Structure 1
Amino acid sequence: MCGRFAITLPNDAMAQLFSASPANDLPEVPNYNVCPTTQIHVVQGGEGGRRLVSMRWGFLPHWYKAPDGGPLLINARAETIATKPAFRDACRQRRCLIPVTGFYEWTKDEDGLRWPWYIHGEGPLALAGVWQSWKGENGPVNTCAIVTTGANRPMSAIHHRMPVIVGHEDWALWLGEAGHGAAKLMTSAPDDLLSFYQVDRAVNSNRAAGPDLIDPLDEG
């Protein structure tokens, strides 16, 4: 799964990287502790070109009567996304990319304590996502979820799931700009794409902030 991440790229740099027009209400960056239900950066495709917009991380199916009207859907499993009622239409029609600098995963020690790991690549990563416009009392709310798949060999030492990472050469295909065939992209990342290291347990709090959250843990 993917339940927390960091984004440090400035908004204008993000827009340039994805060749996207930026919205005016983008979340503040850097953010080293992006949590579910907050607004995150999302790249959408469309007839007018790509847009970098803000969306709620936590997919809301159309039948939810309120944001807390059902389970919190921050991830969508690649294996079932095409058949699950919540995601199947979005999988076909409303795919997006979610820029991150890195993401967190946790392991437990023998005492049951949760220890966080920071997972990253050599540069920004584009996670596969799906989005949904939900009709709220005060108007439409755009929401999204991160697509996950089985972990690759290195990641499996930390967790059995990982986000689907879309390479630059496949962005157009995932966004629906290059025809059909996006389903083939929902696989685990190559074993050599990511690196990871343990970080301080401070990030276990969703109120924690600051660049020190991604500093390697000083085991000395």
Structure 2
Amino acid sequence: MCGRFAITLPNDAMAQLFSARPANTLPSVPNFNVCPTNKVHVVRGGEAGRTLDPLRWGFLPHWYKTETAGPLLINARAETLAEKPAFRAACRERRCLIVATGFYEWTKSEQGTRLPWYIHRKDGAPITFAGVWQDWGAEEVRQGTCAIVTTSANRRLSAIHHRMPLILEPDDWPLWLGEAGKGAARLMQPGAEGVLDYHRVDPAVNSNRASGSDLIVPIPA
């Protein structure tokens, strides 16, 4: 799964990387502790080209009457994405890319203490999560919402967690966004083998109020 992440790439650099037209209301960067319900940077495709938009991290199905009417859907399992009522239409019609620099996962010590790890690309490039999105709410409060698609962990990450975000390489972006026709389902499997690395970080990140670049600095495991 993915419950917290970091984004440090400047907004204009993100727009250039994805050849996307940026919205004027993008979240401020850097943010080393992006939490559920925060606005995140999302790339969407369309007839007029790609856009880079701020969407709420926490998918809201159309039948939710309020933002808290049901579970907080920050992740969507690839294995059931096309079947779950909340996600099946979005799986077909509203796939997106969610941009990150790295993400956090937790293990537990023998004493039950939560130990955070920071996971990032070995080459230092941004990470691109596969996502799905949904507009939600009445016109006056309408907002875009999204969830990160997850798969079973690859061999490297399985040492710290059994799930991981579905990570897409640049050659996969057009297919996931629907720009290269059908067949996105073949991308929904564990990947990024040999691409990611991780290290222990300070437990300060256990708090959703923590901030600052110190959150991703390595500490002894």
Report Cα offsets for 1:35-77 as digits up to 9, x if no partner: 0001000000000000000000000000001000000000000
Trace 1:63-142 onto structure 2 (pairs within 5 A).
63-121=63-121, 122=123, 123-136=125-138, 138-142=140-144
* Corresponding position of 1:209: 211
Match of 1:163?
165
- Give the C-alpha shift of residue 189 in structure 1: 1.7
1:36 matches 2:36: yes
Q: Residue 5 of structure 1 corresponds to which residue in structure 2?
A: 5
Moved over 3 A (4+): none
CA contact (8 A) 2:166 2:188 kept: yes
AA partner of residue 162 (structure 1): M
Gaps of 5+ in 1: none
Equivalent pairs: percent with the same residue? 68
Aligned length: 219
2:137 is paired with a residue whose SS is: strand
Q: Distance in 1 between matches of 2:41 and 2:104?
A: 17
TM-score under structure 1 length normalisation: 0.98
Q: Deviations over 1:61-116 (max 9, x none)?
A: 00001000000000000000000000000000000000100000000010000000
Contact 1:40 1:54 in 2 (8 A): yes
Say whether the 8 Å CA contact 2:60–2:73 is kept in structure 1: yes
Q: How far has the Cα of 1:162 moved from its partner? A: 0.1
Give the Å deviation of 1:218. 4.2
CA distance in 2, matches of 1:133, 1:198: 36
TM-score normalised by the chain length of structure 2: 0.97
After superposition, the Cα gap between the structure-2 partners of 1:198 and 1:144, relative to the gap in structure 1 and judged at 3 Å, is same
Structure 1 residue 138 displacement after superposition: 3.2
Q: Which residue of 2 aligns with 1:177?
A: 179
Q: Flag structure 2 segments of 5+ consecutive residues without an equivalent.
A: none
